[in-house]
Structure 1
Amino acid sequence: MTSPATSLPTGPVAAIIIDRLVAALHPSHLDLVNDSARHAGHMGDDGTGESHFSVTVESTAFVGLSRVQRQRLVNNALGDLLSSRIHALAIKARAPGER
């Protein structure tokens, strides 16, 4: 399946994030940024270079949902990654047509 991503960081954790979000939310837009280099040496940096991310995801799954409900859908899609491999995740979740 081709991802609707415009920005794809490389690495195993990034690949899992993209795969899970595509499978769960069928996004029309997905942008994932690896912010880990900006946090090197800080708390939560596990040395892998894949501990801090920002994601922008646009999906019809978010239509009519609050910001919190949208973030919960993203968190549910990522599940165990948030407790084991991702220290920080900034989420921008929008429905089609929103900015």
Structure 2
Amino acid sequence: MTEDIIREKLEFLKPIQFHLKNESELHRGHRGNNGGEHFNLYIVSELFENKNIMERHRLIYEALEGLIPGTIHALSLKTISPKEL
């Protein structure tokens, strides 16, 4: 299951909070959808401290390399450090 793979690949971030929602059903039949899944990820990690949004997103995209594009068609990210809660 793709959700399990994503969770596994992002374990290195030691998330304090991790909410992953598959929103693929909302996008069925949209132009340009190659069959990959759509996800919304909310993640809180101490490893995001002192990193800007681009650096945080880069950590995630690098960890999910090989899944995007393809298995994952779209990924919406909300990356938070504990101090931002």
Taking structure 2 as the reference length, what is the TM-score of the superposition? 0.91
Q: Relative contact order (alpha carbons < 8 A, sep ≥ 6): 1 or 2 greater? A: 2
Match of 1:51 among 26, 37, 60: 37
Gaps of 5+ in 2: none
**Partner amino acid for 2:10?**
L
Structure 2: how far apart are the matches of 1:45 and 1:37? 14
Structure 2: how far apart are the matches of 1:35 and 1:26? 24
- 1:84 positional shift: 2.3
Is contact 2:34-2:70 (8 Å) kept? no
Structure 1: how far apart are the matches of 2:55 and 2:81? 12
Structure 2: how far apart are the matches of 1:51 and 1:44? 9
Q: Please give the per-residue CA displacement for 1:3-40, whole angstroms capped at 9, x wherever unaligned.
A: xxxxxxxxx11110111112x21111100010100001
Gaps of 5+ in 1: 1-11
2:84 pairs with 1:94: no
Is contact 1:32-1:55 (8 Å) kept? yes
> 2:19 corresponds to which residue?
31
2:3 pairs with 1:14: yes
**Percent sequence identity over aligned pairs:** 33
Query: Deviation above 2 Å: which 4+ runs of structure 1?
Result: none
Structure 1: how far apart are the matches of 2:73 and 2:58? 16
Measured on the aligned residues, the alpha-carbon RMSD in Å equals 1.3
Match of 1:62 among 32, 48, 63: 48
